[in-house]
Amino acid sequence: MLGRYINDPEQVESTIPRQPGLELLPITTTFLATKETHQVKGEVVSARGLLAETKGVSFEGYEIHMGRTENDEEGTAFCLNERSGEPCGVSDGYLDSSGRVLGTYVHGLFGNQELRRAVLRRIAQTKEESLDFNDEEREDEYDQLADHIRRNLDMDLVYAIAGLERKK
């Protein structure tokens, strides 16, 4: 979805054989009829953008997908070292040239605290904001978020769907 195109020649997901993607990454994904599911272990191989402070950081996660993604290898973000308990050396993920758009087949990637914190620090640095909020600032941010949600959602409907009584 993040790439240029999604191909579906075997009509796995749709009767449309080729659909444009969001064009955020220079990749093309082709759906396949067989589902891949693997527990994986890997490491970060990119050292730029969102991943600037993470090269060499190990992670664990899982893959579950029905496709193959083609790219130019220049933007490869990760190397999978193990798949379903078997050694491998599979490239995965793609980081765009700006270093701000990242796509991967690995789910649970940010379960790794070191990786998650490094990426969040990098985002904060690019926004010139600190990750350290005092309690009052944090509460203000939550209040702003809650106000935004209330303005943009039918909260009576949300409460009804959740089976809750709304306090007014």
Token digits for 129? 């904001």
Please report, rounded to a whole number, the percentage of residues in the chain having pLDDT higher than 70: 95
Domain ranges of the chain: 5-131, 133-168
The confidence score (pLDDT) of residue 42 equals 95
Instruction: Sort residue 113 into left (φ over 0), alpha (ψ -120 to 50) or beta.
Output: alpha
- 5-131: CATH number: 3.40.50.880
Whether the pTM exceeds 0.75: the reply is no
Summarize the confidence of residues 24-29 as an average pLDDT: 89
Q: Alpha carbon of 12 to those of 9, 28, 64: distances in Å?
A: 8, 16, 15
Tens digits of residue pLDDT in 69-92: 887 778 899 999 999 999 999 999
Listing DSSP states for 16-78 in one string gives -SEEE---SSS-EEEEEEEEEEEEEEEEE---SGGGTT-TT-EEEEEEEEEEEEE--STTEEE
- Give the distance, in angstroms, between the CA of residue 128 and the centroid of all CA atoms in the same chain: 22
Tens digits of residue pLDDT in 47-62: 999 999 899 999 999 9
Question: Binning pLDDT at 50, 70 and 90, where does residue 66 land?
Answer: confident
Listing DSSP states for 91-137 in one string gives EEEEE-TTS--EE-SEESGGGSHHHHHHHHHHHHHHTT--S---HHH
